[in-house]
Amino acid sequence: MLTDRQKLILQAIVLAYTETGHAVGSKKLVEMLKITVSSATIRNEMATLEEFGLIQKEHTSSGRIPSLAGYRYYVDHLKHRDILVGKNDMSLIRQSLDGSYAKVDEIIASSANMLSQLTSYTALAIKPESGDVKLSGFRLVPLGNHQVLAILVTDSGEVESQQFAINKDVSGDQLEAIVRLVNEQLVGQSLRIVLQRLLTDIPTQIAQYLSTPDGFLQTFGQALDRAASDQFFVGGRLNLLDFSSIDNPTTLKDLYQLLSNKTDMHDMMIPSQDNTEVSVKIGDEIANDLLKDYSLLTATYDVGNHGRGMIAILGPTRMSYSRTIGLLGAFRQELTNKLINYYQFYDE
């Protein structure tokens, strides 16, 4: 159990080190702290904090820096004292989400980019995922040269399209018959059920109109997969390398490519506990050796029947936790409001 003075000293060391990147000595702390205390007393308290494993020596300086345990203590017990979102940051967040968007994907992708710009770290975003999304419309548009564009719409406002080739002897009437079949048999059903039926009874029915239905079925299935999957967006990929202490080119490549592994990143982003707070994983808590010098901050946003998504910041363990947590929390609220307003259009 830390005393109030030890908490103040640890808080000051975290804030000073995350801001400057320099180890913090007792003289600096005397200047920073709003209490009357000598350098000798500060040194004694620092020695106690070091014994507790909350701060550690830096090889090139006589000062101290936070340990991973020190960051953890700060986040769990002290960060609330420093969280403040500035008016300029709030204005930038609202402006970034104030545009007109045709798809949810565009909103989420824009969010990842804006979070990255606000923090100079790497931002991650996953769009809302709901098992209740239904197919609400389907069209086939002839493009000429035996090419057709398949377009599907979901009740959440998602629009997916994909082009495919047909045999030259396929007529417009046959294409219209397929559209009628899909709209009569599949529209109004959940995407999960539609995908299941593409593997069971639908192929036989499509074969009544197309002698080789595989191309259409594959195209339709891929578009459905995209609409049903939790789309993953990354902003500021290269920022991840700015804070890496890794010198090995192969390991650096692995670190960069990690961001393209949707499954691994999704699993790492899952909050350590289900609550309304911003989840913070520091160093080894991320459970990936490539990210042992990083921290991952995640916030879950909820848009009711349209599902839940996640936004996250991946940056160095030496990040400004108070500001980043504040930004992520504020951005989550503004993003939730934006998506609720967007979905209301499709719910009417």
- The long-range contacts involving 331-337, CB below 8 angstroms and separated by at least 24 positions, are 331/93, 331/111, 331/114, 331/115, 331/118, 331/299, 332/278, 332/299, 332/300, 332/301, 334/93, 334/94, 334/97, 335/97, 335/107, 335/111, 335/301, 335/311, 336/301, 336/302, 336/303
Dump pLDDT digits (tens) for 254-294: 888 888 887 788 888 887 665 668 999 999 999 888 899 99
Averaged confidence pLDDT in the chain: 88
Quick one: pLDDT at residue 276? 64
Per-residue burial over 130-142, b if 16 or more Cβ lie within 10 Å, else e, is: beebbbbebebee
pLDDT at 346 over 60: no
- 248 vs 3, residue with greater confidence: 3
Average pLDDT over residues 100-117: 88
Q: pLDDT band at 347, cuts 50/70/90?
A: low
User: How far is it between the farthest Cα atoms of the chain?
Assistant: 91
Edge-to-edge order in the sheet of strand 159-165: 135-144, 147-154, 159-165
Average pLDDT over residues 332-344: 90
Q: pLDDT band at 253, cuts 50/70/90?
A: confident
Dump pLDDT digits (tens) for 115-159: 999 999 999 998 887 556 789 999 999 998 889 999 998 887 778
Average pLDDT over residues 176-190: 93
- 37 vs 7, residue with greater confidence: 7
3-state secondary structure of 261: coil
pTM: 0.75
Percent of residues, the chain, with pLDDT higher than 90: 46
Dump pLDDT digits (tens) for 62-88: 789 999 999 999 999 987 766 778 888
Average pLDDT over residues 240-250: 79
* CA atoms of 58 and 136, how far apart (whole Å): 60
Average pLDDT over residues 208-220: 88
Quick one: pLDDT at residue 82? 66
